[in-house]
Every structure is written in structure tokens, then in C-alpha cells.
A and B are shown apart, each in its own frame.
Chain A
Amino acid sequence: MKGLLIQLGLVWVALLILLAATVIAAHLPLGAAKPWISYAIAFAKAALILWVFMEMRKEGAIARLAMMAAMVWLIMMMTLSASDYLTRGWLSG
């Protein structure tokens, strides 16, 4: 129980550090790299939450499959939305 609390606490601290990194990165002159750095930080946060808080590291195949399904669906949503946003300038009128 105690070990678990320490572990959860560590992850929480890690998330706070990542949050700080997000804020700092938002104010640094990073140019084109800026969004990618934000995405990387967001990805790290999500991974920590999934792996530890949502206990994916302990779960069996079915629960992991369910999680992956959610991911795949998110990717479908983003890819097809991007097919609109990224190609708006391609054709005038």
C-alpha cells in the first residue's frame, strides 16, 4: 500500500514537471519546433496516466486491446479531420 502511494506520488510529481515544461516551452522562441515539443510532452503525460493511473501495465490482453481501440479511433478522428484542415489552401474558390 505504501509503495503504491509513493509510486502514485512520483507519477504525480512527474506530471507536474511536465506541466511546467509545457508552460515554459510555450514562452520560449522555439519556432517551428514549438508544436512538436508540446505534442511530445502531451504524449508523455498521456502515457504516464495510461500506464500507471489507469493500470495498463497490470492489465490483461483484453483491457489493453480496448485501450488500443480507443487510440485507433482517436487517430481515425484526427487523421480525417486533418484531411480537411491541412488541405484547405490547396484549391482556391
Chain B
Amino acid sequence: MSDAALDMGKPAEEVEDISYLRAGHSLRSWFLTTDHKRIAILYLVSIVFFFLIGGAAAAMIRLDLLTPAGDLMTNEGYNRAFSLHGIIMVWFFLIPSIPNTIGNFIIPLMIGARDLAFPRLNLLSWYIYIVAGFIALAVVLGGGVDTGWTFYTPLSTMYANGMVAATVIAVFISGFSTILTGINFIVTIHKLRAPGMTWSRLPLFIWSHYAVSIIFVLATPVLAITLLLVAAERLFGIGVFDPALGGDPLLFQHLFWFYSHPAVYIMVLPAMGVISELITSAAHKRIFGYWFVAIASIAIAVIGFLVWGHHMFVSGQSLYASAVFSFLSVAVAVPSAIKVYNWTATLYKGDIMIDAPLLFALGFIGLFVAGGLTGLMLAMLAIDVHVHDTYFVVAHFHYIMVGGTVTAFFGALHYWWPKITGRLYNETLARIAAIVILVGFNVTFFPQFMLGYEGMPRRYHVYPPEFQLLQVISSAGAALLAVGYAMPAFYLLWSLKKGPRAPANPWGATGLEWTTSSPPPKHNFTQQPVVVRGPYDYPLEHPASRANA
């Protein structure tokens, strides 16, 4: 690998000053670009596209659930709608969402590099993702799948009659895109830091992306092989999961969740990195407990691999294993809690600027806490017997994946929008959108906790009439949420044409990405930056740490 970004020998003067957006206007200059910033834009457009498709499926589901009789779709159609929703949202929106758009754009800027370590690999990663995405879309048009995003055996191998093999192959392929991104980030963070950018000066956004890259590289192969085994058993009758052929059906769940619990942290760790940046910038204050937050990311990445059995408490797993997994699941909550306390402590006595990014960040914290605490409830063996496979679980993970990650994604998009596009958006509209999203989210998903606790199972569209009121409230909330999500599409796009030009550092934030122009020049910096102080070098410190200094 001798990619250009690795030889940093070129004298800085040779690099022209022209913005990356103006460096070439042809299609070729976009589709064959190796500039991490342009690839980030390619990803951004693609994930928004998949978000719309996944969102359309969600809209169908919520419409169908308005009436207890399941009047809109057939049973089969309903199964396909929620499977499509989960598969698209998890692999084609949430997993690439923050890392491949914001991360791709901001990581090299934050550490003072000209690009990622392997720019061509970065482009390849996008192409692989697109190929996988189009296979997934072809499946939708060709009839769909009805296994849910979890592909549980023996349903997926023996009974499901949708296009299971094609779908798992699409997910298999998308995994390679994820792995390449992980390798690229790890090498970049190790090798391309600017002079003076020591590990203890790394922004927390970088730490969380380092942690998530570890999961990318170590977890994704397990999913890839597991899905390949499903395809092999389904297509060629090779016995892996089918007991009649000498296999074990629970083996699928072990392997799947060995990937998929870490994958839920794939979805939330980058969001946590975003929040650390948004909070410090809005409070103009140093992060409280830098090392605790940094190490908590790594701890989450590692311990997150040891808890998967909490998805299998009622599946026939041995009680001893369940007890062990329950205990470990409680342990993984510790580093997450550390982060929440440290963000709050960072805000304490800060010089706070209540702009849209902060509203999104505060929303993240509240929703993540609700999602995390209900996760702890689910990790209790006795409670889980009651609420397993009910809407309680659905509400739990939506609080984290949508309330947490999607909210953080919007926060990040607003915070770095001036840097990415060189334009300022309308702050008032953005604040309104943030509030509409938070209200809409809670109206949609809080009733689902209640539904689940009272016994509404997940993945059914016919339900007892006494649940209708809560279901209708939830669907109404979803409509509000959709409005909230649509708003930024308008004012952000509008800002591209009419928004005022952004200065290099509109938030008065620290961090190398704010030292270069908005939008940045093609090679990020006109001069090689040299780092002489730690991150978050704001005038305010936490009162407690001042005493020690």
C-alpha cells in the first residue's frame, strides 16, 4: 500500500488553497475521487437515500398498526415490511451513518492529516456498500424477506419463503465495506497524526471512532461467515444449524449476537464521540475527566463482546450461561454511565450556548439514559421473561438507536455543516426542528414501553383492541417525528444556495478542523498543523479539576 496520503513529504507551499468542493465539477471528479471529504458526501447522499426507504417501510408499519385488525397489509406483507425496515436501517443506514459521513470527513481534519491512510480503499468501501445496497433493493423489488433483521434459524434456513439467500449475501457484502473502513480508521489514527498530536491530545471523537473501528474489524467477519453458513444450509443443505443434519439452531443465535450486540455499540459509540464534541463546544469548557471518557470508549468496545447471551435468556440457553451474561451486561453499563456523568459535569457552570447542536446533544443524553436503563431492566433474568419479544424491547432499542444515534447524527450534521458546506443554516428553524424531533420521538416510542409491558408482542400486526389507543398515539408521534426529520432537509438544502458564508470557526470551538477554512481546501490544510495543546482548550475548566491543577 503506497497511497498518496502516507507520503507526507511534499512541501506545504505546493498545496493550493482551492476548496475541495471547487476542485473539479465533473461526475468523474466525484465518482472516482479519493478525497475523504468527497467520499463522505457520497456516503451522506447514499445513507439519506436508504434512510428514506427504511422510513417508508416504517410508515407502512405504523399505518397498519392504527387498527387492531391489521387492515392495510397481509400477514406476509407485514412481515416483509418490518424485515425490510430493520435490515435497511441497521446495515445500510445506522452502521455507516456517523462513521462514514461525519467520521470520514472530520477524522483527518481533527488529527491534522491530508486524508485517510488509504484513500483508494476508502472509495472502494463506498462502492462495495453501494453494490450491497443495490442487491438489497433488488430483493425488495423481487419479493422481499420475512425473517426479520435477525435471520433466526430454522425460520431463515427451512421455512421462510422470501429471498433470504440474496439478502444475507447483500449484508455479507456490506460487511466488507465496514471492515475496510475500520482498517482505514485504525491505520489513520496510528500513523497520520500531525506533529504534536499525541494520544492524550486526541479529541474524544477520535477515541470513539478508534473504539468502533476495533469492533468493525473484529465483529463483522463473524456476521459475514454466519450469514454465509445460513445461505449454505438453505441452498445446499449443509448441516450447520438444522438438528436433523447434525447442526444446532442456537448456534446461529450465539454467532449472530456475538456480532450484533457489539454492532449495537457500533451504532452508539460514534454518537458518543459526537456528543463529547458538541457538549464541550457549547459549554466552552474542558471535558470533565478526559481519560475516563476516552478509556470508557475502549472498555465499551471490549466488554460489549461479552454480553451477547442477554438476547437468549428465553431461547433455551443454559441458566448458568444466562446468569453469567446477565452479570456481564450489568458491567457494560458502567462505562456508558461514566460518559453520561462526565458530559453532565462538563456542562456544570459552563458558559453555555443553547444552539441546535446542544439541543440535539441534550436530547441524546436523555434518550440514551432511558434506553440504557431499560437495557439494564432487560438484562435481569426475571424481567426479561416477562418482556422478551414485546414492544418493550422495541422501545428499548429505538430509544438508543433512533433517540440516541439518529439524534446525535443530526446534531453532528448541524455542528459540522458550516465546515462541510461553507454555509450557515437558519438557527431558529434548526432549534425548532430539534424540539419537534425530541417531542415526536417520545410520543412515538414511549407508548411502546407501556404496550410491551402490558403484553403486546413485537412483529404482530393484529392485536387486542385494548391496545389501540397507545398504538394510535405512537403512530401520531411517528408522523410528528417525520415532520421533524424532514425540516432539516429543507433549511439545510436552502442554506447551500442562500445561506450566509461560514467563517472558519463559527462556534468558537477548539480542534484542528476549525483552524482551516470552511469548506476546507482539497488537502485540508495549507500548512502542516503542529499541535501544542490538548483538546478542548477552552478558558473554562471544571471547578473541581481547577483545584488540582
B218 and A87 contact, CB distance less than 8 A: no
Q: Could you tell me if A80 and B306 are in contact, using CB atoms closer than 8 angstroms? A: yes
Q: How far is the CB of A51 from chain B (nearest CB, A)?
A: 21
Contact (Cβ within 8 A) A84 B306? no
User: Is A88 part of the contact surface with B, judged by Cβ < 8 Å?
Assistant: yes
Contact A76 B306 (CB under 8 A): yes
Q: Which of B305, B317, B324 contacts A73 (CB 8 A)?
A: B305
Given contacts A70-B218, A73-B218, contact A80 B309 (CB under 8 A): yes
Known: A87-B321, A88-B318, A90-B318. A76 touches B305 (CB 8 A): yes
Q: Please tell me if the beta carbons of A87 and B320 are within 8 angstroms of each other in the complex.
A: yes
Closest-CB distance, B61 to chain A (whole angstroms):
33
A91 to B317 Cα, complex, angstroms: 11
CA distance A38 to B95 in the complex (A): 38
Question: Are A84 and B309 in contact, with the CB atoms below 8 A?
Answer: yes
User: Which single member of B254, B305, B306, B320 contacts A90 (CB below 8 Å)?
Assistant: B320
A91 CB, min distance to chain B CBs, angstroms: 5
> In the bound complex, how far is the Cα of B218 from the Cα of A69, in angstroms?
9
Per-position 1/0 for B159-184, Cβ under 8 A of A: 00000000000000000000000000
Size class of the contact patch on chain B: 10 to 19
Task: Say yes or no: is B410 at the interface (Cβ < 8 Å to chain A).
Answer: no
B137 within 8 Å of A (CB atoms): no
- Shortest B382–chain A CB gap in Å is 16
Instruction: Decide if B218 touches A83 in the complex (CB within 8 Å).
Output: no
- Whether A84 lies near B318 (C-beta < 8 A) is yes
Q: Chain A: how many interface residues by the 8 Å CB criterion?
A: 14
The residue on A at minimum CB distance from B317 is: A84
Residue of A nearest to B308 (CB): A80
Choose among B222, B309, B318 the residue that contacts A91 (Cβ–Cβ < 8 A): B318
Say whether chain A's binding surface is mostly helix, strand, loop, or mixed. helix
A61 interface residue (CB < 8 Å to B): no
User: Inside 8 A of B318's CB, which chain A residues have their CB?
Assistant: 83-85, 87-88, 90-91
**B residues within 8 A CB of A77?**
222, 258, 305
> Would you list which residues of chain A between 37 and 93 have a CB under 8 Å from chain B?
69-70, 73, 76-77, 80-81, 83-85, 87-88, 90-91
B222 contacts across to A, CB distance below 8 A: 77
* CB-CB nearest in chain A for B321: A84
Is B250 in contact with chain A by the CB < 8 A criterion?
yes
For A87, the chain B residues whose CB sits under 8 A away are 318-321
List residues of chain A with CB within 8 A of the CB of B309. 80, 83-84
Smallest Cβ-Cβ distance to B315: which chain A residue:
A84
Interface string of B251-272 (1 = CB under 8 A from A): 1001000100000000000000
Task: Name, among A70, A81, A91, the residue most crowded by chain B CB atoms within 10 Å (CB to CB).
Answer: A81
Q: Which residues of A contact B218 (CB under 8 A)?
A: 69-70, 73
Chain B residues with Cβ under 8 A from A81's Cβ? 251, 254, 258
Complex: how many Å from CA A91 to CA B316? 12
Is A84 a contact of B305 with CB atoms below 8 Å? no
Contact partners of B126 in chain A: CB under 8 A: none
Q: Which of B432-473 touch A at CB < 8 Å? A: none
Please report A residues at the B interface, Cβ cutoff 8 Å.
69-70, 73, 76-77, 80-81, 83-85, 87-88, 90-91
* A-B pairs with beta carbons under 8 Å apart, 14 shown: A73-B305, A77-B222, A80-B321, A81-B251, A81-B258, A83-B318, A83-B321, A83-B324, A84-B250, A84-B317, A84-B318, A85-B318, A87-B320, A91-B319
Chain B residues proximal to chain A, CB less than 8 Å? 218, 222, 250-251, 254, 258, 305-306, 308-309, 312, 317-321, 324-325
7 cross-chain pairs, A with B, having the tightest CB-CB distances, nearest first: A84-B321, A87-B320, A87-B318, A88-B318, A83-B321, A84-B317, A81-B254
* Given contact pairs A80-B309, A83-B318, A91-B320, a sample of 6 additional A-B residue pairs in the complex whose CB atoms are under 8 Å apart: A73-B305, A77-B305, A80-B324, A83-B320, A83-B324, A84-B312
